[in-house]
Amino acid sequence: MTVSSNRPSLRAGMVGMGMIFDETYRPFFERVHREGLFDHRFGAIDVPLTAVASKTGQRADSYRQVAGSKIGPFASFSGEHSVEQLVSAAPDFACVATPDNRHFDAAKRLLEAGIHVLIEKPSVLSLRELDELTAIARSKRLLAKVVYHKLLDPDHKKLRTLVADNVLRHVNHGYCSLLEPKQVSGSQFAEWITGRNPGTYVAVHYIKLIDFTFGGRLKTVTATGQRGIVGPKDGPTWDSTQLRLIYEYDDGREAAFDIHTSWVTPDNFPGYVEQEVQFRFDNGVWNGHSRKRGVECTVEGETPIARKITMNNHYNGTFLEPWGERTQRGYGVEVLERFARELAYVKFGGPASEESQRYVEMQQLDYNDLSADRQTVAAVQGLEAILECHAAGEPDCVARVGDPRGELVLYRPGISTPMVLN
Ligand SMILES: NC(=O)c1ccc[n+]([C@@H]2O[C@H](COP(=O)([O-])OP(=O)(O)OC[C@H]3O[C@@H](n4cnc5c(N)ncnc54)[C@H](O)[C@@H]3O)[C@@H](O)[C@H]2O)c1
């Protein structure tokens, strides 16, 4: 596919054309199609979406029709070999937004083919997968990054700033809750929901927030959950989960965090997602509620089903700008643009002879680099293992991280030999 301008370009690929594509990637690609990307370090560049891969291709087709001139021409591949076909279209980078348990295969293929990747959260589901992807990325000098947009939420940036500046001192404990509506588990994810849980899907946002904001060493993972709505009460598919993480800090003191998630909240809930956090410190308390940031709007006959009563205007809100333009913007889109800027800086931000240094500089950004996702992946892998044992009739297991027996070890009640997970 040709790019009509003479500007340098970063050709993009997209694997997965579902809900998150529509919420954040679509507005990002449409914006760069319209405006390009500029930075004084790398100049003006194009970032065309050149190829997409999905299971059936239907959403890609309907997107192409609806988008019209908002996006340039792109190839659409579907079916079993869609990722290989996308690889053959040779994009410079590709975003992976397939279901949680299908990130690894796609990302591995892309990296092996020399394509930079940006993976939706949760990056991968095991430390082994993380190591494999990180090793390929390093050996081929590719960026392999993960999207945790909550780190760019202005409220969370403020929290981290206060912690970094020692205004809020030493976190002791906290809780986070993220409740998704039933339509997410009931229809949106029906194709891949069996055997899955809402913790891996959304608690991971808060695992990363805690890990990135407070640092420390993750020691222990415990979890439980409830079943019976999305699937049978004794099956492997979870309605809600409660996860507890224990961290230890350099001074030897500990903190505990509870993260509650669900994807069976009634659809007539006033907001899309209920999101609340509380963190307690030696000298303070931080309370945050992402849904109740200030706006409540009722429209007869529309709220709360067709339109929500409380809206998050910071994530990816649609707006009529004061200058007449229609936009969709927010931290969910900003995080994707940020990745494109990092890659553009590596490729075009100075002499080719210094590309290696620029690569190391960008690879060291621990908010999104895959290699810095280790404790988050350990927490997710621990959670998945605990829930799997629970579903198999062995509840109340404990995963320990950095155990003398291994990096991630599962202890099962009444069984003396632990299971080394990594
Ligand atoms: N950042 C966020 O807040 C956020 C929100 C929603 C979803 N997500 C993440 O994004 C990812 C996708 O979620 P979604 O809500 O868009 O899911 P979805 O079910 O709406 O869409 C999944 C897409 O992946 C495609 N797909 C499935 N298997 C594939 C395969 N093997 N090869 C190629 N394409 C394949 C499907 O065709 C579909 O287009 C998940 O990892 C999820 O955790 C993130």
Q: What domains lie within the chain, and their CATH numbers?
A: 12-150+325-369 (3.40.50.720), 154-313 (3.30.360.10)
Question: What pLDDT was estimated at residue 187?
Answer: 84
Q: Give the model confidence (pLDDT) of 219-265 as tens digits.
A: 999 999 999 999 999 999 999 999 999 999 999 999 999 999 999 99
Give which of 13, 329, 381, 391 is closest to 200, Cα–Cα: 381
Hunting for tokens 């992402």 — which residue is that? 290
Question: What pLDDT was estimated at residue 204?
Answer: 97
Q: Give the model confidence (pLDDT) of 200-209 as tens digits.
A: 999 999 999 9
User: What is the rounded CA–CA span in Å between residue 241 and residue 203?
Assistant: 9
pLDDT at 312 over 90: no
Residue 19 C-alpha to ligand 1 middle, in angstroms? 7
DSSP 239: S
Which neighbouring-strand residues pair with 419? Answer: 410
Minimal-distance CA residue to ligand 1 atom 10: 97
Indicate the pLDDT class of residue 190, thresholds 50, 70 and 90.
confident
User: What is the rounded CA–CA span in Å between residue 371 and residue 360?
Assistant: 12
User: What is the rounded CA–CA span in Å between residue 67 and residue 49?
Assistant: 13
From the CA of 102, give the closest atom in ligand 1: 31
- Pairing of the two strands 75-78 and 49-54: parallel
**Pocket probe mutation, ligand 1, options 55, 98, 100, max atoms within 8 Å of Cβ:** 98
Q: Which residue has the higher pLDDT, 290 or 43?
A: 43
Return the amino acid letter for 107. Answer: A
Residue 71 C-alpha to ligand 1 middle, in angstroms? 21
Q: What are phi and psi of 416, to 5 degrees?
A: -75, -25
Question: What pLDDT was estimated at residue 311?
Answer: 86
Give which of 142, 177, 174, 180 is closest to 360, Cα–Cα: 142
Question: What pLDDT was estimated at residue 349?
Answer: 98
Cβ atoms within 10 Å of 127's Cβ, excluding its own = 21
Question: What pLDDT was estimated at residue 2?
Answer: 44
Mean pLDDT of the chain: 96
- Pairing of the two strands 171-181 and 284-289: unpaired
Indicate the pLDDT class of residue 1, thresholds 50, 70 and 90.
very low
Segment holding 385, helix H or strand E:
helix 374-391
User: What is the rounded CA–CA span in Å between residue 393 and residue 331?
Assistant: 41
pLDDT at 418 over 90: yes
Tokens linked to 190: 């029906």
- Cis ω for the linkage preceding 266 (within 30 of 0): no
Question: What pLDDT was estimated at residue 89?
Answer: 98
Question: What pLDDT was estimated at residue 6?
Answer: 87
Q: Are 94 and 14 in contact (CB under 8 A)?
A: yes
Residue 95 C-alpha to ligand 1 middle, in angstroms? 11
User: What is the rounded CA–CA span in Å between residue 206 and residue 143?
Assistant: 24
pLDDT at 3 over 60: no
Q: Give the model confidence (pLDDT) of 91-149 as tens digits.
A: 999 999 999 999 999 999 999 999 999 999 999 999 999 999 999 999 999 999 999 99
From the CA of 201, give the closest atom in ligand 1: 43
Return the amino acid letter for 214. Answer: F
Question: What pLDDT was estimated at residue 85?
Answer: 98
